[in-house]
Structure 1
Amino acid sequence: MKLTQQQLETHLWGAANILRGKTAGQDYKNYILSLMFYKRLCDQWENEADDAIAEQERQQRRSFTEEQKAVYRARGEHRYAIPEGCRWGDVLAASTQLGETLTRAMRGVANANDELKGVFTVDWAQPAPDGSGKPLIPNEVVHALIQHFDAHDLSNASVPADVLGHAYEYLIKQFADDAGAKAGEFFTPPEVVDTLVRILEPQPGDTIYDPTCGSGGMLVHSAGFLREAGHHATSAQYFGQEMNWGNAAIGKINSVLHGLEAEIKAGVSTITDPAFKEGDGKLRQFSLVLANFPFSDEFWWLKPEQQTDDKKKKDKLKKEIFGKEGFKDAYGRFGRGTPFKAPPAGYGDYAFILHILASLNARGRAGIVCPQGVLFRGQPEVEEETGEFDAKGEPKIKRRKADDEHLIRRTLLESGLIDAVISLPLNVFYGAGVPACLLILNRHRPRARRDKVLLVYAARHYRELSNQNELRPQDVMRILVHMQAYGDAAKVPKLVAKHSKRIREQINMREHEEVERLEVWYADAAARLARLEAELATKQAEFSKIKAKTEKTKAKAAVEKLRGQRDKAAAKIAERDEKIAEARRRAEDDRRDVDATGQELGALYGDPDELLKHARVVGLDEIGENEFNLNIPRYVDTFEPEPRVEVKDALKALRDAQGDLADAEARLGDLLKAIGYAA
């Protein structure tokens, strides 16, 4: 039986519920995701073997014995090798020391496949920290997980690759929601990723790179864009680096499940030890880079193993690593020999930005999630009075050098590398409360816009959720129309029509998926309600026929008990129906807003004064006059006017307030008199 995406999601999240709280912090996501992938590999191996045997039986027009099937099964061709003793059946047959058995099987699979090195990073036999010798995850919990996963076949015969890929992404999103602030280490909200990918528009032949790839979402969405355009995912090549081994493993699995064949390196810092280099040691260059790097990393210049709590060691390393020219970079990204100053030690943002720039080929383009501080931090060179006077009585002047970040930003602008800056709503990222923006770089910009920068203020429009904010499809549409029109009003109608059609389809699909997901989640409650209602009807029919008083009392109690159980199940179904109704209301609101947004964009580009409140193409000369400060409110009117109030309404409100004050004073006077404090 083929599983739907929603059934698979429910099944996988059920496994997470078994393990939650049994591991350190949020580590349980790595256990569940790796176990799911291992089960998929094993099931697909068996499926490939069955298909090969069936084909041989068809060709030879005879049925094989079990012994013959075993021979074909062992020597058949498989996408991934699963050594004997490392198959799912071997794990399922074990009864004791399941953690050791599972870890040994997973590592055996990784060792047999170069592509899977580094995928299985968890140790199911890890001892508990209390020194008891017992495993951190008890044998019975591992057994429950194995039995849970054994309930469904995860091969292509039951779960097509695209369904499993979508379910895997859903699971990552659920883990991110569960992890809260820590999720920023491995997960970028899909709406932000989708925005970046659609701005950059990956093409067949692109080499696509993410230097801090986390769970691989940037790469996966790039492949999705290519598929949407009718190309195969492997028409581009994919590369990623991730310092955290566990997150890199999630990214590798994500890549395999989506058929990307991405090359993901792990365990070292992109800044101190970039993994992708040419034979001569220079950085490898790519045609497209997407990234969401760690914001304002204070110790970007240290290797992971050097980032200890020992301040003296850090200070000593800082003297060794930073010279008069700043960070001594062996890869020519900044410092001596480049037009760029080395970034300051305290903020790593420009270290990542300059690494990305150095990783772009001559026609390369990049989309980067940044803190908005990169737009304005750092002061230009200034002359200031010291408060002292020379022999002629003239005030002495001291010249203060420009800060490094100012110089880097100025060089980026004067080199024509910054194509656009898009400010985002607050709180759209997990654990990052600082204002963020999208920085778009392009080494091969159209001549007409090389001395211009598009600035988009997209912080007004979002959906407010309980823990964070979310870009809606129509909010993404606004950004894309501004970006792709680049100030040209003539392009807007076609862009609105193109994006409106796609986004309405996206909203419809999300609504369908959400409703199906809720129906699957509440399927057990629905079945329970149907069973209880049938039982209740039967008991009530029996009750009407009972004559004896004692028996009637017992039967009545049984009916009341069933009725209570039925009411609880009915309440769960009412809860489901309300959630479904809310999902439909939200989708209907979004569909209506898509049309309204399209009309709004058309009107904006017909009214230049109103457009200035949302987006503006700014010349480099004006940016220079602003000392190369890119803070968007300097160029775009982000002021939110107070709501208009009629004078008569204001006067009425004032009179009402004065009346309320007089009443309160009178009541206070009465109370004081009552207790003997008469004036």
Structure 2
Amino acid sequence: MTPHALQDLSKLEDSLWEAADQLRANSKLTSSEYCMPILGIIFLRHATNRYNAVAARIEEEKAEGKLPKKLPITKAHFISRRALMLPPEARYETLIALPKGTNLGTALVEAMNAIERDFEPLAGQLPKDFEKFDNDLLESMLRIFDSEALRKASGDIFGRIYEYFLMKFAIQGAQDNGEFFTPPSLVQMIVNVIEPDHGVVADLACGSGGMFVQTSHFMEDHGQDTMKSVTFYGQEKTATTIRLAKMNLAVHGLEGEIKEANTFYQDEHRLSDGRPLWGNCDFMMANPPFNVDMVDEGKVKGDRRLPFGLPGVNKSKTISNANYLWISYFHSYLNAKGRAGFVMSSQASSAGHGEAEVRQKLVATGDVDVMMSIRSNFFYTRTVPCELWFFDKGKPAARKDSVLMLDARNVYRKVTRKIFDFSAEQQQNLSSIVWLYRGQNERFIELVNQHVDRSLQAAHACFLDEAAADGPCEPLDAFRQAVKALHEQMHGFLETLPEKGEHAQPLGDYLESKGNAEDGIEGFRLLKSDAQKRRNECGNAWGDTKDFIEILAPQVERSRSLASELDALCKHVSGLISHVEADSRSSESDLWNSREIKKAFKAADAARHQAVENLKRVAYFHRQALWLLHRFPEASYVDVPGLCKIASKADIAAADWSLTPGRYVGVAPAEVDEDFDFGQAMRDLHAELKDLDREASELAAKIQANFEGLGI
């Protein structure tokens, strides 16, 4: 999916959520009441799209002679193409066309029942609680997902929309405090490190199935057919969450064996050949619940899945903290070459007593591969930091004594005041450190070259955006044209102004900024052309790449200054307009059309925004390449203070068997953030202060109400 397609999809996701959440708010329903039905409607829209696409493909194959023209079409024809053969009553267009006054709740329940009858993996899993909803609300919900764009949307788009809604419901705290959903950037990070691409993939605390979905994305990005290469097995103790997971898989055209079970006491799966899942997994991924207590010692003592023993039993004969039960399970389910990646409480890596004894035995196996620290606020409903653990039973002998300690707490992107994540490029950069640790230097060099080329592509996009729906468009030239149109609107009146007087300063600032911007655009165009010419002369060898990163520096610096010049121009023209509008002579002049001038300024400011966004990408991708170059200048692994260090078993033993990366990597030297936006930082702080003030007021009101309720 292109960056422009992703940007359009992001806008679509936002608009769909805003519309759907507005309906929820007006209906006075809670998020948990609304969650399953709305996800069910997204599922139904997607299932209909897939049915229509496959039905059309089958007809084409008949017309082309690939299938007999009189061949009866069966469920198998649809299943083999990863679609459901929907009965008429379960198709979206049937539901949306029902006569006014039809009980839509009943119709939706019948649609879900019809799908479950025909597709056994979804039996009993689809939502049926539509009848308690107001008919008008259901009609509005159906129409939200019946736009022309959504009728033609493909599977990957609906997969993204489903995941987006899951995330938003998780943020709102729906369904058991949102713990069914692991943030995508953490799931993607796990997938990037263990690289699941074959065999048995399992998740013993599978939640909404995000680990399986991201595995599918990873495989499809590498040209593999997921369902032909892997088999998914999951366990989850909450029936409602299992329904979310099965719908999530179905929306992505996937299937998996997901069973309701409490993993502490149950091991429900068997492979197709009768072997247990335990000891036979190629890949294990999970985000288990942290710091669970009260697990019954009697039920887990002697469990073959706990080869390192119990982590510690209290006086009540219960496990005081189950983190190391999970850790032991994930290790023991792997086959002789299996890999595991999972999220774990940051307390676990340095926990003492019985937990330390289990950890020592685990380190002794040589299977601990990578430990990665993640800062706080990556989860939507919890602020605590965490760590990603990675096992590899197939590690080569040369690395059996080593563990890569990676402290990623200083690597993050701020999404909101309360939520952080990794950008795609940050994920790639962190993954590339693991590649170097594994001796995959060529992959590292390829990634740096990719960052360089994307910086160049971003520079080209400033002048030619071929993805524009209405034909080729040049953001910087479009900005110049918009400014020219604005200037023409104002020019007649500006010519009447005296050279000296109250308007002289704002007019002079505007004209100077206009000249700077025009010169800056031409200068950037020349640098862009020269950089591309130099790139064509360079190879992709590491020495060439290092040289070219430095060659790109003037273009990057010019992109930054040009963005500032465009901002300054719009600021000054806005100031000039305000200054003139305050003068009564402007309203009396036929040369000053306030409405048209404001309209032209709005167009120019929109063009500025688009151009500046393109310019920022030039510097952004160059910065990603520099981040790697400065830390690994020879494209080979080295310990980097504050970021990464290879720790031996002896190092770990000397540190009380701690697996906390921060104990090994040291402190990073201070860095200057060239892209730090002081103005934006102040706006963020102001917004945070407003939020805190609002929360304080709400808390004070609640306390006052409680006192009044007590008669105080």
Q: Is the 8 A contact 1:370 1:436 kept in 2?
A: yes
Q: Is the 8 A contact 1:451 1:619 kept in 2?
A: yes
In structure 1, what is the equivalent of residue 345 of structure 2? 371
Mapped to 2, the partners of 1:52 and 1:89 lie a distance apart of 20
Q: Report the CA distance between 1:56 and its aligned residue.
A: 6.2
Alpha-carbon distance change, 114 to 329 in structure 1, aligned in 2, over 3 angstroms: farther
Q: Report the CA distance between 1:251 and its aligned residue.
A: 2.6
Letter aligned with residue 288 of structure 2: F
In structure 2, what is the equivalent of residue 500 of structure 1? 448
Say which of 144, 148, 157 aligns to 2:144: 148
Say which of 214, 223, 240 aligns to 1:230: 223
Deviations 1:425-468 (A, max 9, x none): 22222223222111111222211121222211221222234222
> Partner of 2:363: helix, strand, or coil?
helix
Letter aligned with residue 287 of structure 1: D
Q: Report the CA distance between 1:116 and its aligned residue.
A: 1.9
Letter aligned with residue 289 of structure 2: P
Work out whether 1:476 is the aligned partner of 2:432: no
Q: Is the 8 A contact 2:456 2:618 kept in 1?
A: no
Mapped to 2, the partners of 1:121 and 1:372 lie a distance apart of 36
Deviations 1:588-640 (A, max 9, x none): 442121121122122498996x7243211122122222221223333221366
In structure 1, what is the equivalent of residue 334 of structure 2? 360
> Partner of 1:185: helix, strand, or coil?
coil
Deviations 1:334-362 (A, max 9, x none): 2xxx3322555232221221121222111
Q: Report the more deviating stretch, 219-228 or 360-369.
A: 219-228
Q: Report the CA distance between 1:154 and its aligned residue.
A: 5.4
Q: Is the 8 A contact 1:366 1:442 kept in 2?
A: yes
Work out whether 1:332 is the aligned partner of 2:304: yes
Mapped to 1, the partners of 2:89 and 2:666 lie a distance apart of 67
The count of residues paired between Structure 1 and Structure 2 equals: 526
In structure 2, what is the equivalent of residue 35 of structure 1? 41
In structure 1, what is the equivalent of residue 552 of structure 2? none
Q: Is the 8 A contact 1:277 1:284 kept in 2?
A: no
Say which of 636, 643, 646 aligns to 2:665: 636
1:377-392 map, 5 Å: 377-378=351-352
Deviations 1:181-218 (A, max 9, x none): 97751332322222221211223x32211222223222
1:646-661 map, 5 Å: none
Mapped to 2, the partners of 1:463 and 1:360 lie a distance apart of 33
Q: Report the CA distance between 1:38 and its aligned residue.
A: 1.3
Work out whether 1:292 is the aligned partner of 2:321: no
Mapped to 2, the partners of 1:571 and 1:250 lie a distance apart of 48
Say which of 595, 599, 616 aligns to 2:645: 616
Q: Report the CA distance between 1:412 and its aligned residue.
A: 0.4
Letter aligned with residue 199 of structure 2: D
Letter aligned with residue 340 of structure 1: G
Mapped to 2, the partners of 1:44 and 1:503 lie a distance apart of 35
Mapped to 2, the partners of 1:351 and 1:510 lie a distance apart of 48
Mapped to 2, the partners of 1:631 and 1:472 lie a distance apart of 24
Mapped to 1, the partners of 2:649 and 2:38 lie a distance apart of 51
In structure 1, what is the equivalent of residue 21 of structure 2? 17
In structure 1, what is the equivalent of residue 688 of structure 2? none
Mapped to 2, the partners of 1:612 and 1:632 lie a distance apart of 11
User: How large is the Cα RMSD of the aligned pairs?
Assistant: 4.4
> Partner of 1:635: helix, strand, or coil?
helix
Q: Is the 8 A contact 1:283 1:331 kept in 2?
A: no
Mapped to 2, the partners of 1:191 and 1:75 lie a distance apart of 36
Q: Report the CA distance between 1:484 and its aligned residue.
A: 2.0
Deviations 1:462-486 (A, max 9, x none): 2234222222344324422322222
In structure 1, what is the equivalent of residue 368 of structure 2? 418
> Partner of 2:620: helix, strand, or coil?
helix
Alpha-carbon distance change, 322 to 179 in structure 1, aligned in 2, over 3 angstroms: closer
Alpha-carbon distance change, 86 to 592 in structure 1, aligned in 2, over 3 angstroms: closer
Mapped to 2, the partners of 1:570 and 1:273 lie a distance apart of 67
Work out whether 1:427 is the aligned partner of 2:377: yes
Alpha-carbon distance change, 571 to 197 in structure 1, aligned in 2, over 3 angstroms: farther
Mapped to 1, the partners of 2:223 and 2:64 lie a distance apart of 35
Mapped to 1, the partners of 2:664 and 2:286 lie a distance apart of 26
Mapped to 2, the partners of 1:572 and 1:103 lie a distance apart of 48
Unpaired runs of 5+ residues, structure 1, are 126-134, 302-320, 379-402, 521-536, 538-555, 557-561, 644-679
**Structure number with bigger Rg:** 1
Q: Report the CA distance between 1:405 and its aligned residue.
A: 0.7
Q: Report the CA distance between 1:375 and its aligned residue.
A: 0.9
Q: Report the CA distance between 1:105 and its aligned residue.
A: 1.8
Mapped to 2, the partners of 1:28 and 1:295 lie a distance apart of 27
Unpaired runs of 5+ residues, structure 2, are 314-318, 471-488, 490-586, 588-592, 673-712
Q: Report the CA distance between 1:161 and its aligned residue.
A: 2.5
Work out whether 1:109 is the aligned partner of 2:103: no
1:56-455 map, 5 Å: 77-79=77-79, 80-83=84-87, 85-88=89-92, 90-92=94-96, 93=98, 95-125=101-131, 135=132, 137-152=133-148, 158-179=152-173, 184-203=178-197, 205-234=198-227, 235-265=229-259, 267-277=260-270, 279=274, 283=278, 285-299=280-294, 301=295, 321-323=296-298, 327-329=299-301, 331-334=303-306, 338-342=307-311, 345-378=319-352, 403-455=353-405
> Partner of 1:221: helix, strand, or coil?
helix
Letter aligned with residue 31 of structure 2: G
Letter aligned with residue 220 of structure 1: V
Letter aligned with residue 271 of structure 1: F
> Partner of 2:31: helix, strand, or coil?
coil
Deviations 1:522-572 (A, max 9, x none): xxxxxxxxxxxxxxx9xxxxxxxxxxxxxxxxxx9xxxxx998997x9999
What TM-score comes out, normalization by structure 1 length? Answer: 0.66
Q: Report the CA distance between 1:280 and its aligned residue.
A: 7.2
Work out whether 1:599 is the aligned partner of 2:656: no
Mapped to 1, the partners of 2:348 and 2:406 lie a distance apart of 16
Deviations 1:278-319 (A, max 9, x none): 5576736310111112222235x3xxxxxxxxxxxxxxxxxx
Q: Report the more deviating stretch, 142-151 or 168-177.
A: 168-177
Q: Report the CA distance between 1:117 and its aligned residue.
A: 2.4
Q: Is the 8 A contact 2:32 2:174 kept in 1?
A: no
Letter aligned with residue 615 of structure 1: C
Letter aligned with residue 322 of structure 1: E
Mapped to 1, the partners of 2:42 and 2:55 lie a distance apart of 20
Q: Is the 8 A contact 1:182 1:430 kept in 2?
A: no
